[in-house]
Amino acid sequence: MSDGGELVEFLRRLFERRSEQKERAGGPIRTLGILGSARNDGKTAALTSAVFQHLDDAAVIDLNDFSIDPYTYDSARGGDDFSALAQLMNEADAIVFASPVYWYSMSGPMKIFFDRLTDLTDHYKPIGKALAGKSAFLIATSNSPEAPACFEPPFADTARYFDMHWGGMLHAKFPDLQQLPADVAEHARTFAAAIQTATAVRAKAAA
Ligand SMILES: Cc1cc2nc3c(=O)[nH]c(=O)nc-3n(C[C@H](O)[C@H](O)[C@H](O)COP(=O)(O)O)c2cc1C
């Protein structure tokens, strides 16, 4: 959707997705989920939905739905969807990254997106500065009982680079896509409560 009418189309998709998740009236997106998996109906998407169903004023965007060019040192960027996503990050109080563990690290789509966060230090520097004080979280799935020790630090350190509060990671391994195990569902609910608290604290501070 990088050509004409991209923002309109972007918002249409976003609001469709929002209403799929929860029937709620529109309002500011306080919590923005950024899903980066090789499939939009996989385990990471399922765990993300289990968290977001408990959140008010929240929406998840799927990086697969957007055109994000890999980082280049060429300064003539801007023809893709990154700036629209950066704008959504700017408006949110909390950002929740969601990625499966692929070869001990974040997924390819998420890494491309993370490399482009470099734009928030130059092209879109005011947005990068405005991330300070927001909260960032991570949702992850893998086939191992724990995420590898090296998995969370790139997310946490990047958030801290932008002076964001690091809210931590929810990681789960589960066998069946159809039915989330009860303990995983409960962890998702607890994690959502932590996100909700973070956005409430920020909203109160801003009032
Ligand atoms: C390319 C690829 C690499 C993977 N690497 C790992 C890994 O290093 N460690 C692990 O525990 N699971 C690994 N897995 C399993 C996934 O992390 C796991 O199935 C995850 O829940 C998939 O999430 P998704 O449905 O959103 O893709 C890998 C799967 C794929 C497809």
Looking at ligand 1, which residue's alpha carbon is closest to its atom 31?
102
Atom of ligand 1 nearest to the CA of 103: 8
CA of 81 to the centre of ligand 1 (A): 26
Ligand 1 lining (C-beta closer than 6 Å):
37-39, 42-44, 100-104, 141-144
CA of 137 to the centre of ligand 1 (A): 19
Q: Give residue 201's pLDDT band: very low, low, confident or very high (50, 70, 90).
A: confident
Q: What is the mean pLDDT of residues 75-83?
A: 80
Q: What is the mean pLDDT of residues 120-138?
A: 96
CA of 38 to the centre of ligand 1 (A): 10
* Residue ranges per structural domain of the chain: 33-206
CA of 124 to the centre of ligand 1 (A): 32
Q: The domain at 33-206 falls in which architecture?
A: 3-Layer(aba) Sandwich (3.40)
Reply yes or no on whether the pLDDT at 61 is more than 50. Answer: yes
State the pTM of this model: 0.90
HEC string for the chain: CCCCCHHHHHHHHHHHHHHHHCCCCCCCCCEEEEECCCCCCCHHHHHHHHHHCCCCCEEEEEHHHCCCCCCCCCCCCCCCCHHHHHHHHHHCCEEEEEEECECCECCHHHHHHHHHHHHHHCCCHHHHHHCCCCEEEEEEECCCCCCCCCCCHHHHHHHHHCCCEEEEEEEECCCCCCCCCHHHHHHHHHHHHHHHHHHHHHHHHHC
